[in-house]
Amino acid sequence: MSEVEPRIRGQQAWHRLTRRAFLRSTGLATSLTALSGLSAVPALTSEGASGSAPFLSEDDTEVLTQIVERMVASDASGAPPVRETGAIAAIERLLQQLDPSLTQDLPLAIRLFDWGPIVFDFTFTRFVNMDAEAQDESIRCWMSSRISLRREAYAALRNLALLGYYSQDEVWPGIGYRGPLLKEGVGS
């Protein structure tokens, strides 16, 4: 029985990153939007992260955190601030558990998002150094860019952010979701 399908684990080096590969990686999270499909994701529960090496570096995590903060606007909504929820840990866990061929280019997307204002929008300030209003403006540039790669990156990070945040139990009371019925003892 020789017909064994080789499993492609993500070993792609940075220098080999193609636009296509980048689009695919962003397609990962784009697909998280799927009507009911936005699923995709191994448990985003609020347990601690697993013992394996972090998927994102500290710097990337900070950029991602700021992206999530602006995507969910938790400062303005009266909802729990992102840093007080398990959202970022949950996203990290998700990235660790997904097939690497799907996630391998995501760190690059995050870095591009950070440097995007300088590279694409001539604003001379990195995303992480902007105030909230400028960050929102920068996100809008990604969202409505004529470059499809930028729109895809927006979609990827947006969906990751929203899924990670709204999967957290702490967020549910503020949006009127009562959570699993099993928690109420029905059938447990």
Closer residue to another protein in complex, CB, 8/119: 8
102 forms part of the interface with another protein (CB under 8 A):
yes
187 forms part of the interface with another protein (CB under 8 A):
yes
Kindly state the number of chain residues that form the binding site for another protein, as judged by CB under 8 A. 67
Residue 184 near residue 177, CB atoms below 8 Å: no
Residue numbers 71-100 binding another protein by CB under 8 A: 71-74, 76-79, 90, 97-99
Minimum distance of another protein from residue 13's CB (angstroms): 19
**Binding-site string for another protein from residue 5 to residue 44, where x marks contact by CB under 8 A and - marks none:** x-xx------------------xx-xxxxxxxxxxxxxxx
For residue 48, which amino acid is it? G
Residue numbers 105-164 binding another protein by CB under 8 A: 136, 139, 143-144, 151-152, 154-155, 158-159, 161-163
Return residues touching another protein (CB under 8 A). Answer: 1, 3-5, 7-8, 27-28, 30-45, 70-74, 76-79, 90, 97-99, 102, 136, 139, 143-144, 151-152, 154-155, 158-159, 161-163, 165-167, 171-172, 174-178, 180-183, 186-187
